[in-house]
Amino acid sequence: MTLEHVAIWTDDIEKLRDYYVRYFNGIANEKYTNELKQFQSYFLTFKSGARLEIMSMPNVPTNANDTVITQHKGIIHLAFGVDTLKDVEEKACQLRADGFPILSGPRITGDGYFEFETLDPDNNRLEVTTKI
């Protein structure tokens, strides 16, 4: 069995699509629109086959949790795997240079990974990681 996709609600569907295309090489499909529900979405497909659905619809409430400082139960981050330690370092440098915060790392974790944490434009927590 595989994890088919993960979905994220956003107010700016194009901005979030462009972020994952630019920084994580996602390939976006054509925008799907349901006029009746005022729903829009893009599916982004990644090299591994994993997919991310980015969705927008009026009246979806903002997450009241502090997603930057505090952790909460439920899905807390997405992790993107890269091939080498150098890839982790380069992605951290690229994101930092483009104004995205690096919350922690790059660092070696206790379970044998080299990773850093960052935030996407909507403050969704991301990890970029590789096995040592």
Structure pTM? 0.92
Provide the CA 58 distance to its chain's centre, in angstroms.
Answer: 21
Angle, vertex CA 12, rays to CA 130 and CA 121, nearest 5: 35
Beta pairing, strands 5-9 & 51-56:
parallel
Q: Where are the domains of the chain?
A: 5-56, 77-131
**Over residues 87-97, mean pLDDT:** 98
Same fold, 5-56 and 77-131: yes
Query: What is the per-residue pLDDT across 20-54, written as a single tens digit (0 to 9) for each?
Result: 999 999 999 999 999 999 999 999 999 999 999 99
CATH hierarchy code of domain 5-56: 3.10.180.10
CATH hierarchy code of domain 77-131: 3.10.180.10
Q: Chain-wide mean pLDDT for the chain? A: 94
